[in-house]
């Protein structure tokens, strides 16, 4: 089996452009490798192949260095699958269990909780995401009868480049969240698909860009620490994914948690997914271990974040050029691929007579008419039965070209102007 190197973001991969990697059927028996088709394509353990498991464990040690002894990793079929398993491991609808998350949260995480009968409650957010004091207040004043659910025992959070708001929790914010979780004995699902897409600081449209980290050590040292790295209690289950940094179609990721939690996770996988695809494991292993190694993978990520920085800067430039600043505002994202646009609903000419959801729908429809998709904030509400707290639209700077992003933002601006009758 021959594997071409990923063709995108070719600078980092330039040293291997066009190279082919080979996997034979009996490489192990023939002492030509430690992982081969006869192993990877047979029935395996639900925890994943020993080879790739070793690699993700080493990588996790390098990045998070969890501060307790008995942490473990397990490969997953992707973070939606591992999150669903985690919900089922920690929550029980019959007990009236509930979870906390950002007041605007990842729609798939919400849609995965719903059929399990797990109630979701939203915590207030600011530019740095989830606000610890809001979480503390919710938990300290919990009224089971009024809420119709037991006091939450789990927090689901996307600390870096949160979907949909793009918010980035800084180190102190993370420590604050962790402390509130200790206080109320909350277990944390740390979902981090965008962790390595922490970008260069935004310096404005005309200021010179800051120099990027020069070495792998500098890159790692500059990343905001993970919740896992602060986890002195073993109360974090971190969900990592290759989807946003190598390939979504691999359906391959991993979780990290205490041995006790991982053991339960594996039991779950044994009577459900039975672990990720052997093809995905083999190909990913060949790439990240044999071809790149840890340093090569981190260099790939260093380059990837610069590509995202460029895209982020391009979409921000388009916003500055095309959006009516008197009603639309935003915070430059520090990680990920989402830009969250806030539209001041109090300035809408119909603010006194129409409800927010109605104005949101109008702007959404106007966008569609103009050929652009801007995902409305209501799609991401943690509590779907509560009134909207504002007018928000999620935009994305992952795969479109700079020109396409400019066209999209211009159309969004025109839709807002139409709705606001700004002529």
Stretch near its own copies under the rule CB under 8 A, chosen from 118-126, 183-191, 250-258, 384-392:
250-258
Q: What SS3 state is found at 334? A: coil
Q: Is 181 in the site for its own copies (CB under 8 A)?
A: no
Kindly provide the b/e burial profile for residues 84-98, where b requires at least 16 CB atoms within 10 angstroms of the residue's own CB. bbbbbbbbeeeebbb
The candidate with the shortest Cα–Cα distance to 121, out of 104, 140, 141, is 104
- Are the C-beta atoms of residues 397 and 315 closer than 8 Å to each other? yes
Stretch near its own copies under the rule CB under 8 A, chosen from 36-44, 187-195, 297-305, 321-329:
36-44
Looking at 96, 212, 225, 278, which residue binds its own copies (CB under 8 A)? Answer: 278
Looking at 3, 220, 317, 356, which residue binds its own copies (CB under 8 A)? Answer: 3
Q: Is 163 in the site for its own copies (CB under 8 A)?
A: no
Nearest-10 Cα torsion for 218, 219, 224, 228: -100
Task: Tell the smallest beta-carbon distance from residue 265 to its own copies (Å).
Answer: 13
Q: Is 21 in the site for its own copies (CB under 8 A)?
A: no
State both tokens at 403.
């020109």
C-beta closer to its own copies: residue 7 or 211: 7
C-beta closer to its own copies: residue 79 or 313: 79
C-beta closer to its own copies: residue 84 or 128: 84
C-beta closer to its own copies: residue 280 or 313: 280
**Footprint on residues 218-247 left by its own copies (CB under 8 A):** 243, 247
What is d(CA 324, CA 363) in angstroms, rounded to the nearest whole number? 14
**Footprint on residues 304-343 left by its own copies (CB under 8 A):** none
Task: Tell the smallest beta-carbon distance from residue 367 to its own copies (Å).
Answer: 22
Task: Tell the smallest beta-carbon distance from residue 85 to its own copies (Å).
Answer: 9
Task: Tell the smallest beta-carbon distance from residue 201 to its own copies (Å).
Answer: 30
| 3-state secondary structure string across 272-300 | CCCCCCHHHHHHHHHHHHHHHHHHHHHHH
C-beta closer to its own copies: residue 94 or 346: 94
- Are the C-beta atoms of residues 90 and 84 closer than 8 Å to each other? no
What is d(CA 158, CA 167) in angstroms, rounded to the nearest whole number? 9
Looking at 275, 296, 376, 377, which residue binds its own copies (CB under 8 A)? Answer: 275
**Footprint on residues 183-222 left by its own copies (CB under 8 A):** none
Stretch near its own copies under the rule CB under 8 A, chosen from 195-203, 226-234, 279-287, 335-343:
279-287
Q: Is 276 in the site for its own copies (CB under 8 A)?
A: yes
H-helix or E-strand spanning residue 189: strand 187-191
Q: Is 45 in the site for its own copies (CB under 8 A)?
A: no
H-helix segments, 64-170? 79-90, 107-113, 132-140, 144-147
C-beta closer to its own copies: residue 281 or 309: 281
C-beta closer to its own copies: residue 28 or 247: 247
DSSP letter string over 370-416? HT---EEGGGGBSSTTSPPSSEEEEEE-SSS-HHHHHHHHHHHHHHH
Sign of the C-alpha dihedral, residues 323, 325, 330, 331?
positive
Q: Which residues pair with 121 in a beta bridge?
A: 100
Stretch near its own copies under the rule CB under 8 A, chosen from 27-35, 135-143, 262-270, 334-342:
262-270
- Are the C-beta atoms of residues 27 and 36 closer than 8 Å to each other? yes
**Footprint on residues 384-423 left by its own copies (CB under 8 A):** none
Looking at 60, 64, 101, 112, which residue binds its own copies (CB under 8 A)? Answer: 112
Looking at 13, 44, 180, 395, which residue binds its own copies (CB under 8 A)? Answer: 44
Q: Is 273 in the site for its own copies (CB under 8 A)?
A: yes
| Total of residues contacting its own copies (CB under 8 A) | 45
Q: Is 161 in the site for its own copies (CB under 8 A)?
A: no
Q: Which residues neighbour 182 within 8 Å (Cβ) at sequence distance 6 or greater?
A: 233, 235
In the chain, DSSP finds a helix count (H) and a strand count (E) of: 14, 15
What is d(CA 108, CA 191) in angstroms, rounded to the nearest whole number? 12
Binding string to its own copies for residues 82 to 101, with x set by CB under 8 A, is what? --x---------x-------
Is omega for the bond preceding 164 within 30 degrees of 0, making it cis?
yes
Residue 45 CB-half CA count within 13 A: 13
Which residues lie near its own copies (CB under 8 A)? 1-4, 7, 20, 25, 40-44, 77-78, 80-81, 84, 94, 108, 111-112, 114-115, 243, 247-252, 267-268, 270-281, 283
């Amino acid at each position: 089996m021959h594997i071409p190197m990923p063709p995108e973001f070719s600078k980092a991969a330039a040293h291997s452009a066009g190279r082919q990697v080979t996997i034979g059927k009996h490489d192990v028996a023939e002492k030509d490798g430690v992982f081969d088709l006869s192993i990877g394509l047979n029935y395996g353990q639900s925890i994943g192949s020993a080879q790739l498991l070793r690699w993700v464990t080493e990588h996790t040690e390098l990045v998070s260095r969890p501060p307790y002894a008995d942490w473990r990793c397990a490969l997953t079929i992707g973070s939606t699958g591992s999150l669903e398993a985690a919900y089922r491991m920690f929550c029980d609808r019959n007990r009236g269990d509930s979870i906390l998350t950002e007041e605007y949260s990842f729609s798939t995480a919400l849609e995965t909780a719903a059929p399990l009968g797990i109630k979701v409650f939203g915590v207030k957010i600011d530019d740095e995401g989830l606000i610890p004091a809001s979480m503390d207040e919710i938990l300290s004043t919990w009224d089971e009868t009024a809420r119709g659910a037991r006091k939450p025992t789990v927090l689901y959070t996307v600390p870096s480049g949160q979907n949909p708001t793009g918010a980035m929790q800084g180190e102190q914010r993370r420590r604050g969240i962790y402390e509130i979780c200790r206080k109320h004995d909350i277990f944390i699902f740390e979902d981090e698909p965008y962790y390595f897409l922490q970008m260069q600081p935004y310096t404005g449209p005309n200021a010179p860009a800051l120099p990027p980290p020069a070495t792998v050590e500098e890159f790692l040292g500059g990343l905001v620490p993970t919740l896992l790295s602060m986890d002195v209690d073993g109360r974090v289950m971190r969900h990592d994914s290759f989807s946003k940094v190598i390939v979504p179609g691999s359906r391959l990721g991993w979780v990290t948690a205490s041995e006790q939690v991982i053991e339960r996770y594996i039991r779950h996988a044994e009577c459900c997914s039975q672990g990720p695809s052997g093809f995905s494991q083999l190909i990913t292993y060949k790439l990240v271990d044999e071809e790149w190694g840890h340093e090569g993978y981190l260099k790939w990520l260093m380059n990837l974040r610069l590509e995202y920085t460029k895209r982020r800067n391009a979409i921000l430039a388009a916003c500055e050029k095309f959006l009516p600043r008197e009603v639309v505002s935003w915070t430059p994202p520090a990680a990920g691929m989402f830009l969250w646009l806030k539209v001041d609903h109090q300035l809408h000419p119909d603010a006194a007579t129409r409800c927010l959801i109605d104005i949101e729908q109008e702007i959404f429809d106007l966008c569609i008419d103009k050929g652009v998709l801007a995902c409305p904030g209501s799609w991401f509400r943690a509590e779907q039965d509560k009134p909207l707290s504002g007018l928000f639209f999620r935009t994305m700077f992952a795969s479109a070209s700079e020109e396409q992003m400019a066209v999209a933002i211009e159309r969004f601006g025109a839709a807002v102007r139409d709705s606001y009758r700004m002529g």
